[in-house]
Amino acid sequence: MTRRLTWALPPALLLAAAFLYPLALVVRQSFRPDTGGTSLQPYTDVLGSVAFREALWTTVWLALAATACCLVLGFFLALVIAFVPFPGAKAVARFVDVFLSFPSFLITLALLFLYGTVGMANGLWTEVTGAASGPFRFLTTPWGILLAEVTYFTPFVMRPLLAAFSQLDTAQVEVAASLGARPGQIVGRVILPEALPALAAGGGLVLVLCLNEFGIVLFTGAKGVTTLPMLVYSKAILESEYPGACVVAVVNVLVSVGLYGLYRVVSRRAGA
Partner 1 sequence: MLVHSRTGKWTLWVLFLLLFLPLFALPLLVILAASFAGHWSGVLPSDFTTAHYTAATSGESLQALITSLVTAVTASLLALAVGTWGALGAHALPRPLRRVLDALFVLPVAVPSVVVGLAVLVAFSQPPVLLNGTRWIVILAHTVLVTAFAYQSVSAAVLRLDPAYEQAAASLGARPAYVLWRVRLPLLLPSLTAAAGLCFALSMGELSATMMLYPPDWVPLPVQIYAATDRGSLFTGSALAVVLMAATLLVLFAVARIRTRASYR
Specify the residue, 106 or 196, whose C-beta has the smaller distance to partner 1: 106
Residue 2 touching partner 1 (CB under 8 A)? no
Among 64, 194, 215, 222, the residue binding partner 1 under the rule CB under 8 A is 215
Specify the residue, 40 or 89, whose C-beta has the smaller distance to partner 1: 89
Among 61, 221, 239, 240, the residue binding partner 1 under the rule CB under 8 A is 221
CB atoms within 10 A of CB 173: 19
Closest distance to partner 1 from the beta carbon of 83 (Å): 4
Among 15, 40, 163, 270, the residue binding partner 1 under the rule CB under 8 A is 15
Residue 110 touching partner 1 (CB under 8 A)? yes
Residue 67 touching partner 1 (CB under 8 A)? no
3-state SS, the chain, equals CHHHHHHHHHHHHHHHHHHHHHHHHHHHHCCCCCCCCCCCHHHHHHHHCHHHHHHHHHHHHHHHHHHHHHHHHHHHHHHHHHHCCCCCHHHHHHHHHHHHCCCCHHHHHHHHHHHCCCCHHHHHHHHHHCCCCCCCCHHHCHHHHHHHHHHHHHHHHHHHHHHHHHHCCHHHHHHHHHCCCCHHHHHHHHHHHHHHHHHHHHHHHHHHHHHCCCHHHHHHCCCCCCCHHHHHHHHHHHCCCHHHHHHHHHHHHHHHHHHHHHHHHHHHHCCC
Specify the residue, 199 or 217, whose C-beta has the smaller distance to partner 1: 217
Buried b (16+ CB within 10 A) or exposed e, 219-245: bbebeebbbbbbbbbbbbeeeebbbbb
Residue 131 touching partner 1 (CB under 8 A)? no
Among 114, 163, 265, 270, the residue binding partner 1 under the rule CB under 8 A is 114
Residue 163 touching partner 1 (CB under 8 A)? no
Among 37, 38, 48, 98, the residue binding partner 1 under the rule CB under 8 A is 98
Chain residues 194-213 in contact with partner 1, contact rule CB under 8 A: 208, 211-212
Q: How many residues contact partner 1, by CB under 8 A?
A: 86
Residue 140 touching partner 1 (CB under 8 A)? no
Residue 92 touching partner 1 (CB under 8 A)? yes
Chain residues 142-161 in contact with partner 1, contact rule CB under 8 A: 150-151, 154-155
CB atoms within 10 A of CB 187: 18
Residue 42 touching partner 1 (CB under 8 A)? no
Chain residues 242-261 in contact with partner 1, contact rule CB under 8 A: 242, 245-246, 249, 252-253, 256-257, 260-261
Residue 73 touching partner 1 (CB under 8 A)? yes
